[in-house]
Amino acid sequence: MAKVYEELDEAKAEIEELKAELRAKTDSFENLKKSYNAQVNQIQEAKSKAERQDQKLFQQAYEISETKSVCEDLKEDLNKKESIIKHLSAANDKLRVDCNDKFKRWEEEKRGLVLALEEANEKSQNQEQQNYLYKQEIERLKGCLSVSKEKCFETEKKIKVSKELRERDDLFQKLEEESRRVEEQLKWKKEQFNHLEEAYEKLRDQFKSSKKEWEMEKSTLLDEISSLQTKLDSQIRISEDLQHQLQSCHQALAHVESQKKRLEVEVSNLKVELDNASNEYQDARLQLDCLNTDRDKDIADLRYLLKTKEAYHKESKYRIEKLEQENQELRTSLKELQEAQIQEAGASYSQSKLRSKLRNLEQTHKECASTLKAKEAEWSFKLKQLTEDLNICQELETSLLAQVDVCERLKQEKNILVFKLEEKERTLDYLQQDVVLLEHEPRTRGESAVSSESDNVRYLRIIAEKDKTLEELQKEVVWLEQEIFRREFESAVIEKGTVERTFEHEKDNLIQLVKGKGKRMDELMLQVTSLEQQFTNSLTSLSSQLVEKQAEINLIREACDKITASQILAALEIEEKKLMVVELEDDIQAIQQKVKLQEEKWSQSEQLALDTEVELGAKQSKVMELNDQMETNLRKSDALVQKLKMENRNLLENATRLSSERENMLAFVQGFSDKICEFSTADTLLMDKLKSMVLSFENGYPVMTLKKDASFIVKENMLIQSPTRIRKLEANSDKRSPFKELNLLEE
């Protein structure tokens, strides 16, 4: 029993030590909570300051991005114009070079065709001479055949006497087989010749159809030339309005330059504000870093305390389990003693005392167990609160890290925007220099090269490109206005959403802390009210800034509307002129395509002539082979000789036909070349007229040139569309060429 009392005393002493430790830990925990709440208040104040600075930086960066986008668009437009001017000048030079090359090729092709025709005529003459020689050889072979027949009769008589009937039958069979082979070869050659004749007739029909198509295209080209002349007259009238539009363009450029200067002043102010904001941001960043270090230290201390408390809790659990085991053992021993006392029935006064002591021990044990359970519940509740506090701290850490990342991104974007602004300022300077050069170009061109056609064309192209750039600038201004409004609205919505989310999140955290900690309700409510006041102040400041920005945007829009109203009128006139120029260019391209198609058809006809010559050569080779075969087979059959004569006559007739068709082709080619020369002369006259019109437009006398050239245009149309010229060409094509006369004499 003494041991039991000693163990109970020890347990009571340990319980009192645990209570003292719990009291010390609760005191330290409350102190930590107070320090943590103070840090939370400091963090919230730093957050509010950082959010205000972020809002200012975001607004400034947005304005800078808008100005940079405008400058970049202007630079891109000017670069596009310069590239278009270079491309057009290069294309014009290429077209000139291509035209000169084509004229040279056409002349060389004509010479080659004439030489080819002369060679073909010479070949036809040689073929006729060869045919005459072949005829003489055939007559000579006939005499040889008659002599060979007589010899054959003599030999046959001798063979009849010397040989038997079987040998005669074998010889006859061999001769019949050879004659069949020769007949089959002749049939195959006749079929080939018939196929060639059919192909030649098809080519002839195709040539006739192509000739008709050329005549139709010639008439359409004449009509198109007359329509182009009328369009040129209308274009001259329209070109007078270009000077007025150029003046309006210069005025618009001056207005844009004034706007650019104003924007530069605003950009300089924004730079100063950005520098101030960056300095403030750095100070706030240093404060945040200090707060983060303090917070990390506090969190480490709390974690260490939690670990120690968990260790003490485990030790207390282990001791409680031991006490319960000992209590069970005591209970079993008490039961045994009670049974022994009942059996003895003569218990003493000491035993009654022991029973009372045991009962008291059991009651104290029950009380200790109840107190331990209550303490365990308190410890579990406190552990839950600590875990919730740690989660809140982690969430605050993540939010602070996100804010730091956002600040770093804003810094990077600010640097990028500053670099882009510098680049845009440089490009604007270059653009101003280009505009000055473009203004001085027409004067220098008028003084240096009045008669140069390329300068006039480039001047018109530059004007068209300026008009295009004005239209693009108008579109870009409208797009920029829309984007500015959209971005401002999105940024305001995002900022409000983020502020509301952060506020709601913090409010929820505070409500949870209020539920778990009833003692500090008043302090937290004061913090909530202060946060609400800060939020309302931030909203009022944002609304005032938005109103100011909207007023500035409205002023800018009114100025842009005035600019666009003046530019739209000029753009409409410029578009009409562009459409006229595009139509003329399309007509010129269509004429060039038609000329190319005619050249392709001419090349096809040349290929057909070459193919016919190749076929004639093949036929001549076949005739030679047939003659060789005839020399071997003349002794066997006279009928084969007659068939060959007929085939030779047909070949001669075909050769004469081909020669006559070649002569017709030459006549047609000569007529077509004359027509091409006429078209080229008409084109040169039109180009001269265009040059004179452009020069008169530059000198300022467009009306006088139109009056002078009106009669000339009418005469040119009469020359182009007169049927007498076509009849003369047809009469010339009906005349015989010297090659044709020679062929007729030889026949």
Per-domain residue ranges of the chain = 103-243+589-746
Q: Cβ atoms within 10 A of the Cβ of 286, count? A: 10
Report residues of the chain scoring pLDDT below 50: 345-347, 448-452, 514, 521, 528, 701-747
Nearest to 27 by CA among 380, 392, 300, 382: 382
pLDDT the model gives residue 170: 73
- How many angstroms separate the CA atoms of 640 and 184, rounded? 12
Nearest to 698 by CA among 437, 438, 445, 439: 445
Computed on alpha carbons and rounded to an integer, the radius of gyration of the chain in Å comes to 57
First CA to last CA across the chain, in angstroms?
A: 162
How is residue 643 written in tokens?
A: 């068939």
pLDDT the model gives residue 742: 40
- How many angstroms separate the CA atoms of 715 and 721, rounded? 10
pTM above threshold 0.95: no
pLDDT the model gives residue 194: 74
pLDDT the model gives residue 729: 40
- How many angstroms separate the CA atoms of 499 and 503, rounded? 6
- How many angstroms separate the CA atoms of 260 and 71, rounded? 9
Please spell the DSSP secondary structure of 301-348, one letter per residue: HHHHHHHHHHHHHHHHHHHHHHHHHHHHHHHHHHHHHHHHHHHH----
Q: What Cα–Cα distance (Å) separates residue 345 from each residue in 337, 348, 351, 574?
A: 12, 9, 12, 134
- How many angstroms separate the CA atoms of 495 and 501, rounded? 10
Say how many CA atoms lie within 13 Å of 42 toward its Cβ: 15
pLDDT the model gives residue 377: 74
- How many angstroms separate the CA atoms of 217 and 205, rounded? 19
Cβ-count burial of 249 within 10 angstroms (0-12 exposed, 13-18 middle, 19+ buried)? buried
- How many angstroms separate the CA atoms of 574 and 578, rounded? 6
pLDDT the model gives residue 704: 41
CB-CB contact of 16 with 316 (8 Å): no
State the helix-helix crossing angle for 2-162 and 242-344, rounded to 10 degrees: 130
Handedness of CA 717, 718, 722, 724 (dihedral sign): negative
CB-CB contact of 741 with 666 (8 Å): no
Q: In 3-state terms, what secondary structure has residue 634?
A: coil
pLDDT the model gives residue 592: 65
Q: What confidence tens digit (pLDDT) does each residue in 662-699 have?
A: 677 767 767 777 777 777 787 778 778 777 777 776 66
Q: Cβ atoms within 10 A of the Cβ of 705, count? A: 18
- Exposure string (b/e) for 610-629, b if CB count within 10 Å is 16 or more? eebbeebeebbeebeebeee
State the virtual CA torsion across 378, 382, 383, 385 in degrees, nearest 10: 140
